[in-house]
Every structure is written in C-alpha cells, then in structure tokens.
A and B are shown apart, each in its own frame.
Chain A
C-alpha cells in the first residue's frame, strides 16, 4: 500500500522522476498521485534537479565532488586529524549540519546497529539515557544533536571503566543541528557512557550507555 511514509523511505519521488520504479510501485504511486496532486511539485523538482545540480557542482571553480575519497574515508581522515587530541583510542569530530533536526530525528526511536555505524538520536523532550550495544568491530557512532544543544560550547564525554575522554567544541553554531561522529577506534570490550552537553546549564544533556561486545551478530 503506497503512503507518504513509504514514498519518503523508498525515495519513490526520485525514482519516479528517474523512471526506475517497479511496475507495481509505479501503478500504486500513480494512483496515490491522483489523490495527492501537490506531489507534482516534488516530481518536477526531482526531474529538474539533476540538470541544475550538474550546473552547480560541475561549474568552473566548484569543488570537485567526485574527488572525495570513499572507502575508509570517515575512519582514516577523521582519525588522522584528531588523533593528537585524543588520549583514548577514540576520536570525535563535530561538524555542523544545517538540517532541520525535526526531520533528522523523525525516526529517533528506531535506532539500529549496522555493521559499522550506530545512530543515536535524542530529542529535547526525551533525553533519558539510552542503552545500546555495539560489536567490537563497530567503528563509528553517529550522534545527532538538536539545535537546542547548540550553545556556545558543546562537550562530549565518553567514560569507560579504565579511562575517559572529553572533547569540547570551540566553535559556536547556533540554530543548527549537529551530527557528531565518534570514531571508536580500538575501544576495548566494556561498558561506556557518552554524554553530550551544552554550556547552557538549563539544557539537559543527551546521554547514553553503550557496551562494546565481542560480537553481537
């Protein structure tokens, strides 16, 4: 059954624009479209986006997107750049992501572990500690922080049984969502606690407990 949730989660509009929907999806989407004609705007945008995007990304002087490294880029470049800061075998990087966090956190309760990534999300109204487990091979935790946390200083603390680590942002990002990628490196098996806090004491921190296991598969 086609509905807005299915459309969003399966990039139906983009695939319709590209002409790559299956026959069944095409039939169902077109019938849905008959009753939701405002989607025509999104379809037009998706159809015209490749040309406009080509003009922008491949214009003289623009950053060569295709030169971005892929495999292992996250781990290697971030770890290399932050290794000197981190005493523990972990590293943290924060980068601004000017996206609407309400969208970003739409599935905040559906955190799931993938082989190398784990998404922890929290909302202002739900900052209760969350627990999760990762396998020892998990290399990356992605934590999305609401704009409300964007105080002058943002602090990430990871505390383990034998060691702890703290990282503090220097930059001021206001009215923006953050995505913090925590590169786990060679964290040993054990239980850790991660807390993300803003310098504004009126804002509750996001916290979570995570266990690094030998294997969870």
Chain B
C-alpha cells in the first residue's frame, strides 16, 4: 500500500540532469513536487509561503544537479528535504515575499493541483467511510480509543493506562481504523488509486 517510488534511481536521475536531460528535470519535479508542498505547508501553515519555498528549493537543487554539484546523489531525497526546510526558514526570517524568477517550463509544472485533488477526494469520502468504520467496530473499548485519541486528543500512554490496554492493542486499533478507512475510500474512489499510481508508474 505504501509503495515507494519506483522511478529512476536518484543517482541516475542526477546523472541525466547533469547531462542536460530536460525530461529528467521534469521527473525530478514530478517526484518531489507534491510531497514537498505537503511537508512545507505542514511546517509553516501557509500555502503561499510553502509554494514559494518549494519552488525555490526545487530550483536550487536543479541548478546544483545541472552543475553536478551534489556529491552523493543516493541521498537526493534528504538533500532536497534539507534544502526546502532551509529555504522555508530563510523565508520566514524575511519580512517580504521572495521574488522568484521563472526559470524554465519546469517551474510551470510545480503549480499542479495534485495535493488539492487528494485533499478533496478524502474530504468527500471521509464522512461515509468513518461512519462505516465506526459501525464495524463492535467493541465499545476500541471505539473509545478512537474517541479519546482523535477527538479528545489524549496521549497514547494515557489512554492505555485509563483503559487498561497494552500499547500493542492500541496500535492495532489505530492502525486498523486508518487502513480500513483507506480501503473504503479507495473502493469508493477509483481515482484515488490513480492518484497513488502516479508515483509508481512514471
């Protein structure tokens, strides 16, 4: 379910970009675009700021790759992540928005709405799916675990102590609920599988 990226290996991607491949640049953007936006939005809570930081981070990494300046391309994901976080931190220190120059058509690719599509799909189905999951839970205690964890925002160990649970049991309940939710949503929304498959089939 949680398939990793099956595209080109990072070092191969880096080598192709260094060799001037435009297609490889697009693949780099496609590979990290949506995930970076999510990570940055989570960190700063501001869509516009996250988009700016993402764009600048991608361009910085692209330029470094074009010049063959990234020594260990096997750690490309970690490098991209660190660059994005650094850019965000730098942006947050500035009082005005950074002006980013349009570089190539690659930049246009960065504004795709994939993350919004995902959010909308989940939002449209979550109510129905949650009702089905709750209905399936015959055990009052498991239902209360969800209630305490998600709604009352209680800590795991506090819940385990109060309900006399092992952490193993707690983990199972939480994990099963999410897996079941995903299963229901995926069965109701075939386009969600398409959304996921984009990462597996370039």
Partners in one complex: yes
Instruction: Please tell me if A95 contacts chain B, counting CB pairs below 8 Å.
Output: yes
Cα distance, A35 to B4, chains bound together (Å): 6
**Contact residues of B between 169 and 189, Cβ < 8 Å to A:** 169, 171-172, 174-179, 181-182, 185
A-side interface size class: 35 or more
Q: Which of B156, B178, B182, B196 has the most CB of A within 10 A?
A: B178
Distance (Å) between the CB of A178 and the closest chain B CB? 11
Instruction: Please tell me if A53 contacts chain B, counting CB pairs below 8 Å.
Output: yes
Q: Are B118 and A49 in contact (CB under 8 A)?
A: no
List residues of chain A with CB within 8 A of the CB of B129: 52
Q: Are A44 and B122 in contact (CB under 8 A)?
A: yes
Cα distance, A117 to B169, chains bound together (Å): 11
Cα distance, A179 to B192, chains bound together (Å): 33
Cα distance, A36 to B196, chains bound together (Å): 10
Cα distance, A112 to B55, chains bound together (Å): 49
A35 with B123: in contact, given A43-B38, A71-B164, A103-B176 (CB under 8 Å)? no
**Contact residues of B between 134 and 157, Cβ < 8 Å to A:** 134, 136, 138-144, 146-147, 149-153, 156
Q: Are A18 and B153 in contact (CB under 8 A)?
A: yes
B-side interface size class: 35 or more
Q: Are A11 and B156 in contact (CB under 8 A)?
A: yes
When C-beta atoms are compared, the residue in chain A nearest to B35 turns out to be A37
Cα distance, A179 to B126, chains bound together (Å): 28
Cα distance, A57 to B175, chains bound together (Å): 19
Instruction: Please tell me if A45 contacts chain B, counting CB pairs below 8 Å.
Output: yes
Q: Are A19 and B42 in contact (CB under 8 A)?
A: yes
Q: Give the 7 A-B residue pairs with the shortest CB-CB distance, closest first.
A: A34-B77, A52-B130, A52-B126, A65-B147, A44-B122, A50-B150, A48-B126
Binding site for A on B (CB under 8 A): 1-5, 32, 34-36, 38-39, 42, 77-78, 80-81, 115, 118-119, 122-123, 126-127, 129-131, 134, 136, 138-144, 146-147, 149-153, 156, 162-166, 168-169, 171-172, 174-179, 181-182, 185, 192, 195-196, 199-200
Binding site for B on A (CB under 8 A): 4, 8-11, 13-14, 16, 18-19, 30-31, 33-46, 48-58, 63, 65-66, 68, 70-74, 95-100, 103-104, 107, 110, 112, 114, 116-117, 119, 140, 142, 179
